[in-house]
Structures are given as structure tokens and as C-alpha cells.
Amino acid sequence: MTHSHFTAQQTRVNPGAIWKARKRIAPFLTRTPLIQSPVLSEKAGGPVYLKAEHLQPVGSFKLRGAANKILSLDGEHRKRGVATFSTGNHGLAVAWFARQLGIPAVICLSARVPREKTDRIKALGADLIVCGESQDEAEERCLQLEKEEGLAVIPPFDDPEIIAGQGTIGLELLEELPDLGRVVIPLSGGGLFAGIALAIKSNQPEARLVGVTMEGSAVMYHSLRKGRPITMEEQNTLADSLLGGIGLDNRYTFPLVRKLADETLLVSERGISQSLSLLFRNHKMIVEGAAATGAAAILDGRIQAEGRPIVLILSGCNADAEEVLQAINRS
């Protein structure tokens, strides 16, 4: 795939598409609060705010992209139904939104997805197919359903409408904190990062966008260093929603993250564990490991305020409750 192909593809994801997404999803979604964190502000040497995306109805930011993509489908596709593959949160979002619109949904997940998420997907009335040990295997099954049954696939990240939907978070941040300095975003497939970065960089080019992920199986992080998408075996981590490949034929998120990221960082399992504890003890928030990666980077002293506010994206709260409580107790 040539670089010029990347550029041509990227034009389908532009700041205008994010404004359009905002208008499209507004009747269905609420704006999430931005909460200042005194304890993290003290550690970073300047104001730190938490964007509480874990307060979305499905407990994750994924609802924005899923809603935008499903609402962009024509009536015929909606009637036939939708299918997706996911490490859990995107599957929940698609199942929830399909139920709001009264359309059938099939969610393909790997055996690694915590039961907390699979039970909730079933409760939303979606058909659940558990197959394989990785998101890539779940994706294969999903694409098979597209061929066999004509279901519309709602990709978890590498898609213009998904990216634009997640980018609506960036528009909200610009309105509430016009002088923001750094936005720290959990980094996995790159849909969340690409959307927010596109919204912010096109309005506030001097803001710094930082992607944070866990040390094990950090596929996007290592792909950026190799200069091309790679595959890695999935390892156990507290940040399980950041697992999964980015697709060897990635068309949108890899080039956008490569172009827009000012920095990408890895944080340790211990750092994630301490951050889960900090968010619980100081803010009474129980979030998933992925949502705690930004706080872990601040605790490690890797991110400083430098005179302008920092925003951490709290991406979701759909963790295995037992696992989070154990992490909190350990810390």
C-alpha cells in the first residue's frame, strides 16, 4: 500500500465529518462531564481534568462511533441488521444502539472477553458468537456473516464514521477548555485517538496529543515504531480493552495516529493498578484498566502540565469488578 493511497483515504475523515457526526448523534447521546482532579493536578504541577466517558449509557466512549456508523446506514441495511467484532466495549455499544433503533445485531467476541461484558451484551438482546482466542479471529467470523447473511459490519475503529463519532469528544473538550495543553488518550486500534486528535489539531494545532497503552501486546505502539501494522500475540493485562490487532490492511487509524500523535507511551501493570486505586479512593470512580493508563503516566512522572491544562480520557468502566477490586486492594 503506497503512502499516496493513505492520503487519499484520509480525506474521507476530516474535521467536517466530526461536526456532521455531532449533529447526527446528538439526539441519542449526552455530553459527558469534565472533572478536575486535585490529586493528579498536584502530581502533574498544573490542572488535570478527567473526561468522564465511562458515564455513557454503555459505560464507554464507543457509543459515539457506533451510533454515528449505524445512523449513516441506509434503511435497507438497518433492516437486515448489523454485525461487529470487539474486545467487548464496542460490542456493547453496537448491541445497545441497535436495540434503541430496534434492529438485529450479532456480536463476535473472542474467548478472552470478560464475562462482565458478554453477560451484558446478551442482556441487550444481541446474538453473541464466541470464537477463537483473539479479536482477529472474531473479525474473521464477522466478515463471514457479512458475506453469508448480508449484515452490515460496524468496525470497531478503522472506519471514517467510527473515527468521526469518537472525534466528537474533541469538540466538547475544545468548547470547555479552549487553552488545553495536552490530551492523554488510551491507545489501541486508534479510533478514539484519531478522532480526538483530528478535532483538536485542526482547531488548536499547538495542543499535544499523547497516546498511552500497556506494556504487553501494545500493537499500535510497536506498529508505529516499525512504520507498518504488525500482529502480536495477546497477553493478559488489566487494560484488556486495549488488546487486539490494528489490522494488517489498516487504512485510516494507523496513518492518522502516525501523523497526529506527538508522543506515545507505555505504562506498567503496576502503574495501572495504582491509578485504578487512586481514581477509586480520590474520585469514587471504578473504571477499567484502559481508562487508568493516562493517570498511570502522570504517576510515573512522564507527563507534566507545563503551564496548560491536561485532559485524561476516562474511556470506560466495563471491567471485571473482581479484578478491579483486587487491583485497588493490592495498591
Residue 62 belongs to what H/E stretch? helix 62-71
Kindly state the cell numbers that stand for 323. 479484578
E-strand stretches of 220-277: 263-267
Domain 62-153 has CATH 3.40.50.1100: yes
Q: Select from 108, 17, 8, 119 the least CA-distant residue to 64.
A: 17
Kindly state the cell numbers that stand for 106. 450479532
Question: Which pLDDT does position 238 carry in this prediction?
Answer: 92
Cα distance between residue 44 and residue 295, in whole Å: 10
Cα distance between residue 158 and residue 149, in whole Å: 22
pLDDT > 70: percent of the chain:
96
Does the pTM exceed 0.85? Answer: yes
Residue 212 belongs to what H/E stretch? strand 208-214
Residue type, 124: L
Kindly state the cell numbers that stand for 55. 458515564
Instruction: Enumerate the CATH 3.40.50.1100 domain ranges in the chain, comma separated.
Output: 3-61+159-330, 62-153
| DSSP state letters, 166-190 | HHHHHHHHHHH-TT--EEEEE-SSS
Q: What is the 8-class DSSP label of residue 53?
A: G
Kindly state the cell numbers that stand for 33. 462531564
Q: pLDDT for 84-136, tens place per residue? A: 998 789 999 999 999 999 999 999 998 888 787 888 999 999 999 998 888 78
Q: Which residues contact 227 (CB under 8 A, 6 or more apart)?
A: none
| Phi, psi dihedral angles at 243 (to 5 degrees) | -75, 170
Per CATH, the number for 3-61+159-330 is 3.40.50.1100
Q: pLDDT for 220-278, tens place per residue? A: 999 999 999 999 998 999 998 898 889 999 999 999 999 999 999 999 999 999 999 99
| DSSP state letters, 262-326 | SEEEEE-HHHHHHHHHHHHHHH-----GGGGHHHHHHHTT----TTS-EEEEE-B--S-HHHHHH
